[in-house]
Structure 1
Amino acid sequence: MLNTYVSSKETIALYVNDILKLSTKYEVKTVSRDLETLKQRIIDDQFQLVVVGMFSRGKSTFIDALLGKRILPTSKKPTTAVISKVIYNSTPSFYLHYKDGRKPNPMSEKEFLNFTASNTEDDEIRSVELENISFAQVGYPLTFCQNGVVLVDTPGTNDLNQTRVELTYQYLNKADAVIMLLAADQALSIGEVEFLKERILKNQISDIFFIINRKDTLASPIEEQRVLEFVKQNVLNVTGDSLKGPLHLYLLSSYQALLARRKQNGESLSSKQLLKLPNELSDTGFPQFESDLAHFLEVDKGNVKLRRFVSILNRQLVQLKIILTNKKEIISHSTDNLDEIISELKESIARTKPLIHEVVEDIKVDFSQSKVLIMDKCKIASAKVPGRIKASIPSYSGSDSRKDIYEFINQHLETAKKEIIDDIATYQNILIKEGCNKAEIKIEGFFSVLNKKYKESFNLTSDLDMLTLGNSPSLLLEEEVSFEEGLSRTIYKALRRYYSNVKNNAFLRTAAMFVSIFVSTPVDSDIAQLVEDAYPKWSKRLEEHIVDQFESYTKRVIERVEDIANLQLDELVNQLEIVRLDKKKQESEKDKLLKELNKDMRALEQILKATENIY
């Protein structure tokens, strides 16, 4: 199996080099750039197994359960922007890797935990230091990670911090397989379905392990079966035929599995933890999952990597084929009036740009009207906050200690905050996508006219289009902060600023501290009235900031729509100039150039056919 994988990988590397030579020869820079990246990935030869999930789904506890020890940072608040990678090492080791290429810094286990755990009181100071960190590396004798497997623990997909969310997206771009954590008590939320569709499946990741965590919160086997069936049906509805092989779906208790292994390793557990111990490790669901994961990594891993390599290779091959096909036909046909043809095409392109600008202006109007709808949604969502806070106070049955009181309040406020995020962010994303889809349809219509004119001008018979948004980046912002993260950050900043301003009413500042969750304060019998007093001003500030965030986000989307369309038009103008220069040089060597192009295109076809049977 290993020899077969190595041989196939070497064959793909040869194909990459062959196509890279052709893309360099014909000065197709985008293809050359992507092939260089693929070439480096093949050389690095690591299998990236990326763990993703929304905040508080238990990703770090899940990985700790695999390790059998509490290693990775966990918190009731999002942890730092440092990605944690677990690799195989015969003895535990901890290193920080830096973006500037300096030598990795070794750390003790305690230093590692202190550095990666979130500290809300000095986040702003620490964020400067964290910007220099590329990732934290944990070496551990974990069998799964042998033979180049890297287990990557990512921040929550609904994290409040833009940097952390972008890190997750970056690692998904390089993922060979994904472990997606869900929660049994809130399985497959709207945000998780959206993330699965937009960030995993659209990234052409077809090998996904779905983990429904917190099995121990379900009351009976009947409820367990109900949750499994619900997730199974909904996942299959979303994924369709995107998955390779059977659906990998597991119901686990990471927390119980971790406790069992910590006890097995001789660690002391508290009386509360002992009550949570499972009767058998198999009750947690971990043994079956680990067995299936081991088989996947030992047997299927090679095919996953090969599929990923071939998919990237074929995309670049097809793009190069489009350019060479058009180049061949242009050389083949007589174009005595070349200057006139190119001038007419340039005029058509120039007339198209104002039409695209009109489309952009139209979606500006649509987005402006959507502000009213967003504000209505904000009022509905924020109106739930006071009631939820007040409702939580009578149900409190813990001790008088500040720690217990803070934990109780934070749990209820976290739920209220998520309601606001889900209520507004999901609706806002629908509005943004509708606007972008309308723009894309109109712009593709303009491109269709230009493609037809381009082909007719040069008598091209190819059905491959030079202009299409299908080969462009998404019109939505890929690496920018999503509205969900922006909104969450807005809530935090608005309340933190209100609290920090000593000129504001002291009682309202105190209530703002409760709602922001980030600052501890005593809880007394007057808290319900304090929240009620604070709510009008808080909700008004929240609405203002949500609208500001919406306008800022839609402005960037609008600019991106116009930029992507105009970049394609500008590239076509550039290609026309290349045609003009090349055609005049090529007349005397037409037969030679056609022969060479035919040979290169046959080579592309042979590679494309060969990759069909490479794994």
Structure 2
Amino acid sequence: MSVSTYSHLKNELLSCIDEMLTIEAIRGCPCEELREKIEKNTFNLVVVGQFKRGKTSLINALLGADILPVAVVPLTSIVTIMTYGEALRIKVYFNDGRVSEIKPESLPEYVTEKGNPKNIKDVSEVIITYPSPYLKDGVRLIDTPGVGSIYQHNTDVAYQYLPKSDAALFLLSVDQPMSKAELDFLNDVKEYSNKIFFLLNKADYLNEKDIQESIEFSKAVLRDVMGVDVKIFPVSARLALEAKQSNSQEMLQKSRLPEFSDVLNRFLIEEKGKILILSVTNNLLRIISQARFEIELELKSLTAPLDELQKKVSVFETKKQEVLLEKQDFDILLDGETKRLLKNILDEDIEKFKKELMPQVMANLENYYNENKGMSLKELHKALEQQVITEVKQAFSGWRVVEDEKLAKAFESICKRFILKINDTVDELLKFSSELFQIPFDAIKAEALWTVKSGFYYKFKDEPVGLEMLAGTLTLALPKFIGERIILKKMKEYLHQVIDIQSGRVRYDFAERLDKSKLDFRWEMLQRIDATIEGISAAIKKGMTQRQRGEKEVREREQVLIEMSEKLNEINDKLLEIRGDVYV
């Protein structure tokens, strides 16, 4: 399936949803949710590579504009995300939940080490919207800091984002050999080798023979690290950007970027686009199947003998009570699964993180102490306190991103299991009603499309903890070598307290968010059972009420229901055609 076909099928599905929402028998909520899935579907491309490989130039080339500043110093651990928008807008998201919109010329103040040293401004990420055709079909470019820079936290960010990407672009260049840091990184992430694309930038520096030699050399090195043969795409980001800005197709072909873009787009469509189209199509077919059943049920209630109908309604009411009891069981089981997730994943991960973090930060604290013993006692106390806060803050910010993704996936897995169970319960109720009222019903299986909504953040608690005595007159009046030891000892105690406080704070915030996600999911999913019961009951009630109004009203209603059914059949045929086109 090509990108153009994917885009066409997306629009066809949106058109089907618009048509469905004009039909009385279709309830709006599920269709609107599926529309949101289509419109908000994204292909996340993470761009990874060592500083000065031309990473920023490549992103600008893909966008066709000089959006990102070409840095002259390594970036901080700030992730910059490019997504589609009608105009160029830049928003800075902070770890405490604040959001600020900035001017393009202010961007380096937040994403470079010079403008934001060690992320002193506490930025979480920067999101840039831009009307680039490359981004229009849902592609999001995620620029991560350079692998193997002098700032270890930069490499950590690349590790965090690779697992949740749909594809990663790993940039090499003809003018620099691969570093040990890059090879170590690739060795650690080789489990994701199926979605890493290797690009050899600055290909315009060499002739064809030298390019091939460079490719063969790099392939041999990568084969040793990754354990598999990899394909390397030579490109010139500089030529590609110039070509797009001057609208020169000849120069664009020389840049070799189109060849790579075609391969990447096919991968994304096959990997993710096809799954989305099929899932939404099957979910829409499921909605239509249930709506057609309810229409047939109302038609039946317009003509069936009343005595017979009332007996069947009584049998249905008994079944309805059984389903409502089953619904209560779902609620209890979901609550238990969520609590187990907190205990078996979050609590264990927090304890493991604390054990790994403590000796690392303690060693850094002692090194910093030894390097700065020349300070006065008061200056030393303040410097060590800031060192503790900065180190722990950075550590928790990085860990939280990874843990957030891990918990989201675990909770989504729980949700998908429950959705399948709830769908089976709904199907069982519809099949029971189908046999009871002698109306055909097609049960259509559809993949669960639930995802946990983002928006988690926590405020780092950096208030001093029991440090009043550190700067007290007695400590400061002691001989310097004694005062220094007391300050170091107290600062180690402070370090333990800060880590414990942040662990508790993060645990509380994760648990609170998970509970909210659980309540959102519970309401939405159990609503499916209620909506099915209500739909069946309402269809029977409408027919019986219509009969009381006379023969003319019955005939008019029959005509309306027949026309609705015909319209649903047309949409159903169109959806089956869309499903078939996915495999062409």
* TM-score (normalizing by structure 2): 0.59
- Number of aligned positions between the proteins: 478
Deviation at 1:498, TM superposition (A): 1.7
Distance verdict in 2 for CA 1:606–1:188, change over 3 Å: farther
Is the 2:6–2:269 Cα contact (8 Å) retained in structure 1?
no
Which of 210, 228, 234 is equivalent to 2:170?
A: 210
Aligned pair partner of 1:577 in 518, 531, 534: 534
Structure 1 residues 450 and 86 mapped into 2: Cα distance closer, same or farther (>3 Å)?
closer
Residues 578/113 of structure 1: CA separation in 2 closer, same or farther (3 Å cut): same
1:324 aligns with 2:294: no
* Structure-1 residue corresponding to 2:336: 362
1:452 lines up with 2:416 in the alignment: no
**1:62 lines up with 2:39 in the alignment:** no
Gap change, CA 1:531 and 1:473, over 3 Å in 2: farther
For 1:102-121, list aligned pairs within 5 A. 109=105, 113-114=108-109, 119=116
**SS of residue matched to 1:478:** coil
Counterpart position of 2:134:
149
In 2, the alpha carbon distance for the partners of 1:507 and 1:78 equals: 37
- Tell me the distance in 2 between the aligned counterparts of 1:425 and 1:184: 20
User: Which deviates more from structure 2 when the two are superposed, residues 556-565 or residues 336-345?
Assistant: 336-345
Shift of 1:550: 0.7
* C-alpha distance in structure 1 between counterparts of 2:142 and 2:76, whole Å: 23
Task: Show the counterpart of 2:491.
Answer: 534
Matched, 1:506 2:471: yes
8 Å Cα contact 2:427-2:443 kept in structure 1: no
Which of 294, 314, 317 pairs up with 1:340?
314
Fraction of identical pairs, as percent? 10
- List per-residue Cα deviations over 1:441-476 (Å, max 9, x = no partner): 5785566445424422333653435xx8x52523xx
Structure 1 equivalent of residue 359 of structure 2? 383
Q: Which runs of 5+ in 2 are unaligned?
A: 93-100, 206-212, 220-231, 237-254, 302-308, 373-381, 476-480, 544-553
Superposed displacement of residue 534, structure 1? 0.6
Instruction: Name the CA shift for 1:471/1:547 in 2 (closer, same or farther; >3 Å).
Output: same
1:175 counterpart letter in structure 2: V
Distance in 1 (alpha carbons) for counterparts of 2:322 and 2:495 = 53
Contact 2:365 2:387 in 1 (8 A): no
1:175–1:454 CA distance, 2 compared to 1 (3 A): same
Letter in 2 for 1:209: L
Deviation of the 1:248 alpha carbon: 1.6
Deviation at 1:546, TM superposition (A): 0.9
CA distance in 1, matches of 2:412, 2:578: 36
Task: Judge conservation of contact 1:390–1:528 (CA < 8 Å) in 2.
Answer: no
Between the aligned partners of 1:318 and 1:608, the Cα distance in structure 2 is 8
Query: Within 2, Cα distance between the matches of 1:349 and 1:547?
Result: 40
Given the superposition, is the C-alpha separation of residues 323 and 307 from structure 1 closer, same or farther in structure 2, using an over 3 Å criterion?
Answer: same
How many Å separate the matches in 2 of 1:187 and 1:108?
Answer: 25
Alpha-carbon distance between aligned partners in 2 of 1:471 and 1:348, rounded to the nearest angstrom: 24
Q: Structure 1: which 5+ residue stretches go unaligned? A: 88-93, 100-104, 140-144, 152-172, 262-279, 397-405, 511-523
Give the Cα–Cα distance (whole angstroms) in 1 for the partners of residues 260 and 14 of structure 2.
27
For 1:592-607, what aligned pairs fall within 5 Å after superposition?
A: 594-607=565-578
Shift of 1:535: 1.5
CA contact (8 A) 2:289 2:442 kept: yes
Structure 1 residues 480 and 233, CA gap change in structure 2 (3 angstroms): same
Alpha-carbon offset, residue 576 of structure 1 = 2.8
SS at match of 2:169: strand
Task: Tell me which of 447, 453, 456 is aligned to 1:478.
Answer: 453
2: distance between equivalents of 1:61 and 1:411?
Answer: 33
Match of 1:248 in 2: 197
Partner of 2:325: 351
Aligned residue for 1:471, secondary structure, equals coil
Question: In structure 2, do the counterparts of structure 1 residues 377 and 219 end up closer, same or farther at CA, with 3 Å as the change threshold?
Answer: closer
Once residues 127 and 389 of structure 2 are traced to their aligned partners in structure 1, the CA distance between those partners, rounded to angstroms, is 32
Counterpart in 2 of 1:399? none
Match of 1:154 in 2: none
Q: By how many angstroms is 1:63 displaced?
A: 0.2
Relative to structure 1, is the Cα distance of residues 573 and 340 closer, same or farther in structure 2, using a 3 angstrom cutoff? farther
CA distance in structure 2 between the partners assigned to 1:17 and 1:306 by the alignment: 23
What pairs with 1:405-416 in structure 2 (closer than 5 Å)?
A: none
Q: Deviations over 1:328-366 (max 9, x none)?
A: 345456572564355345433432343234335534654
Corresponding residue SS for 1:383: helix
AA of the residue aligned to 2:442: S
What secondary structure sits across from 2:444 in the alignment? coil
Deviations 1:465-494 (A, max 9, x none): 5xx8x52523xx43032xxx64xx53xx32
- Residues 181-220 of structure 1 mapped to structure 2, 5 A cutoff: 183=147, 195-197=161-163, 199-200=164-165, 205=166, 208-211=168-171
Task: Find the residue that maps to 1:464 and give its secondary structure.
Answer: coil
CA gap 1:457/1:504 in 2 versus in 1, 3 angstroms: farther
Contact 1:389-1:528 at 8 Å conserved across structures: no
- Deviation at residue 560 of structure 1 after TM alignment: 2.1
Residue of structure 1 equivalent to 2:376: none
SS in 1 for 2:583: helix
1:358 aligned partner, one-letter code: I
Q: Does 1:609 align with 2:580?
A: yes
Q: Distance in 2 between the 1:557 and 1:573 partners?
A: 24
**Structure 1 CA distance, aligned partners of 2:59 and 2:570?**
53
8 Å CA contact 2:426, 2:529 repeated in 1: no
The 3 A distance-change label for structure 1 pair 567 and 10 is closer
1:28-67 correspondence runs (5 A): 28-30=27-29, 32-33=31-32, 50-51=45-46, 62-64=55-57
CA distance in 2, matches of 1:331, 1:603: 20
Whichever residue aligns with residue 18 of structure 2, its letter is L
- Deviation digits for residues 173-215 of structure 1, max 9, x if unmatched? 9326777777258899898667444x33xxxx4x542347999
TM-score, scaled relative to structure 1: 0.57
| Post-superposition offset of 1:382 | 1.8
- Whether contact under 8 Å (2:83, 2:127) holds in the other structure is no
Q: 1:471 to 1:412 in 2, by over 3 A?
A: same
Check whether the contact 2:47–2:142 (CA below 8 A) recurs between aligned residues: yes
RMSD: 6.1
Amino acid across the alignment from 1:210: F
Question: What is the alpha-carbon distance in structure 2 between the residues aligned to residue 303 and residue 372 of structure 1?
Answer: 37
* Aligned 8 A contact 1:9 1:306 in 2: no
Distance (whole Å) between structure 2 residues aligned to residue 59 and residue 49 of structure 1 = 23
Whether the 8 Å contact between 2:294 and 2:535 is mirrored in structure 1 is no
CA distance in 2, matches of 1:11, 1:449: 31
Determine which structure has greater relative contact order: mean sequence separation of CA pairs < 8 Å that are 6+ residues apart, divided by chain length: 2
Deviations 1:560-584 (A, max 9, x none): 2243133222233134323333345
Contact 2:362–2:492, Cα closer than 8 Å, also in 1: yes
Aligned-partner SS, 1:248: strand
Structure 2 match to 1:21: 19
Residues 144-169 of structure 1: CA deviation (Å, up to 9, x unaligned) = x7xx2359xxxxxxxxxxxxxxxxxx
Higher alpha-carbon Rg:
2
Distance in 2 of aligned mates of 1:27 and 1:593: 10
Counterparts of 2:527 and 2:409 in 1: how far apart (Å)? Answer: 26
Structure 2: how far apart are the matches of 1:84 and 1:76? 16
**The residue matched to 2:18 in structure 1 has which SS?**
helix
